[in-house]
Amino acid sequence: MHTKEVKEILSILRSSHGKKPVDLLLMGGKLVNVYTGEILEGYSVAIKGKWIVRVDKDLEWMAGPKTEFLDLKGKYIIPGLIDGHAHILAYCHPHEILKYAVKRGVTSVITELLDISFKTDVDGMITYLKATKGEPVKVFATVPPFITLCEGAKRKIPDFKAIVRLLKLDAVVGIGEAFWQEVLRGHEIFFKLVPYAFKMRKTLEGHSAGCKGEKLQDYVLTGVSSCHEPITYDEVLERLRLGLYVMIREGSVRSDVNCLLGLSGSNLDTRRIVLVSDFMSPEDILDKGYMDYVVNRAIEKGINPVVAIQMATLNPATHFGLDGKIGGISPGRYADIVVTPEIKKIDPEIVISNGKIVVRDGYLYSQGNKKSLQIQGLKLRKVTPEDFLIKTAKRGKVKVRLIQQVTELVTKEIIEEVYPIDGEIRADPKNDIAQISYITDDGCYNYLVRGTGIKFGACATSSVWETYGILAIGIEPRDMAKAVNRILEMGGGMVIVEKECIVEELPLPIGSLISNLSYEEVVKRIGILNEKAKKMGIRWEKPLLSLETFTTPAIPFFRISDRGLVDLKTGQVMGLFVD
């Protein structure tokens, strides 16, 4: 709590006992007490400024002539929802995304800064956090441990003092997701940050996808205290037993709420289970909702509604040491409250943030304060179609290493024999082989991928995971070069090209990741981009999102980089050609 806030509380104490009326009185609702798990009938909540000051029956004595009343008879009063693991930086200005988030009952998010970490410096990340101030959603963040597969990205890592400066910020609550393989290999920045995190009482967020047994115990030994990667009930249980906070995802990249089916009839302690999105795309927030949707999905899977609400309020707040201020309805907490007519299906009818009614019957009352957000976009030299040629002096059959697309996100290594044409290895749509290229300051790194379905054209994006630069997939080098150069003209973006013509684009000039267009326009353009990509034959549900992941060390098993193809299990780096 800041000094200014302490003074506010002192002033409320001095003027209480009925002497100074409260500003807002929520009257006679069914209060969901997340601390005890009770539903308290006929309870009222008194709000003064941004603070909850009383929670009890019969609080009318605290009202004055200017007090606003909300009669909530028959309605449920629940704490504002928290997304405990989010990636809100992608695509939209925070003002655009947060106004839709609050409409869905979200009053706090803990976001990774990872997404922009290799695309800007510490000042850029601080600029972003400043742009979230004054919005109806509180934004907390985690500092990335800067894990990347790419050499070029490593050169962009800030000096350690700057990283610590970021960690010291009040809005920063921990070290962001640290991929277990790299941690167990002794990742230098992560281990340098550990003592600072403990000293400053900030968390170490984990990422232990597929990790189990001895390796998982070694990972927990490092001080990591959460994991948002379990996809089965057994993985949930193993992590809970080791004392981790287990975050169950239900978002645009993963849907894992089925993990919760195993909880029914188990009597398992759920205090360390947290519901998160791990990224909800703008189009999904519009279509499905946000944390209201996630909580409702958990309830559909048989979780008691009060427990599901705890998983998206008190539990994440406790994990991050924020439970004294958010995540529950009690005096001294920020008045972040949702009113829903039903508890079995959360439907935020009224949302109160910092003591103000910001949403009522779907109408947004607080427009927030859209701040200018300027973070340098992508600057690379222009490319030519020749940059995309895969040349070979070999004749006859050539053995090459391909990325096989197993699912929309998972990849593996395969070896194929292909025939060069005029001294070049080319994409072969008849055999479902496309070219995938990664473009940075240092050049154009060309590889082949099988199983995407693309038959013609090219897609490219500067929203690339755990690095900077551009990823492009396509059949013809001319189309790929055209798409990449258009992104460079915009300073960042997503582009689709057919027959050397740009058919759709989304500019992302802010840090090559964020658009300056409205939320609605971003949603519309992403929809068209995905539709056009599917018309080119791509089988992925969200083609542009799947493309972004080719550089990530976070998703198994085989990825691309500026060093070569990387086997994530072993860390081994290999070339396209098999000797």
Which residues in this chain contact Fe ion in the complex, by CB under 5 A?
Answer: 278
Do the beta carbons of residue 76 and residue 343 sit within 8 Å? yes
Question: Which position has the token pair 């929520």?
Answer: 26
Nearer to Fe ion, 227 or 508 (CB): 227
To the nearest whole angstrom, how small is the minimum distance from the Cβ of residue 255 to Fe ion?
14
What tokens does 87 get?
Answer: 């990636």
- Give the nearer residue to Fe ion in terms of CB position, either 278 or 504: 278
CA angle 435, 438, 439 (to 5 degrees): 125
Residue with tokens 């909800």: 280
Q: Which residue is nearest to Fe ion (CB)?
A: 278
Question: 84 vs 451, which CB is nearer to Fe ion?
Answer: 84
514 beta partners: 91, 510
Q: Is 562 helix (H, G, I), strand (E, B) or coil?
A: coil
- Nearest residue (CB) to Fe ion, 278 versus 479: 278
Of 278 and 498, nearer to Fe ion (C-beta) is 278
Q: Which residues contact 5 (CB under 8 A, 6 or more apart)?
A: none
Backbone angles phi, psi at 347, to 5 degrees: -140, 95
Closest separation between CB of residue 248 and Fe ion, Å?
13
Facing residues of 402 across strands?
Answer: 414
Q: Which of 139, 156, 159 is CA-nearest to residue 148?
A: 156
Q: Which of 256/278 has CB closer to Fe ion?
A: 278
Q: How far is the CB of 167 from Fe ion (least distance, A)?
A: 18
Tell me the closest approach of the beta carbon of residue 278 to Fe ion, in angstroms: 5
In the block, residue with structure tokens 């013609």: 456
Beta bridge partners of 266: none
Q: Which is nearer to Fe ion, 315 or 435 (CB)?
A: 315
Give me the least distance between CB of 141 and Fe ion, in Å please: 12
Task: Identify which of residues 86 and 102 has a Cβ nearer to Fe ion in the complex.
Answer: 86
Contact (Cβ atoms closer than 8 angstroms) between residue 454 and residue 431: no
Shortest separation between residue 88's beta carbon and Fe ion, angstroms: 11
Residue 557 preceded by cis peptide, ω within 30 = yes
Q: Which amino acid does the sequence have at 168?
A: K
Distances 34 to 53, 141, 295 between C-alpha atoms, Å: 17, 24, 14
Select 29 or 251, whichever has its Cβ closest to Fe ion: 251
Question: In sequence order, which residues have a C-beta less than 8 Å from that of residue 350 and are 6 or more positions away?
Answer: 70, 337, 338, 339, 357, 359, 360, 361
Q: How many CA atoms lie within 13 A of 443 on its CB side?
A: 11
In contact, 453 and 537? CB cutoff 8 Å: yes
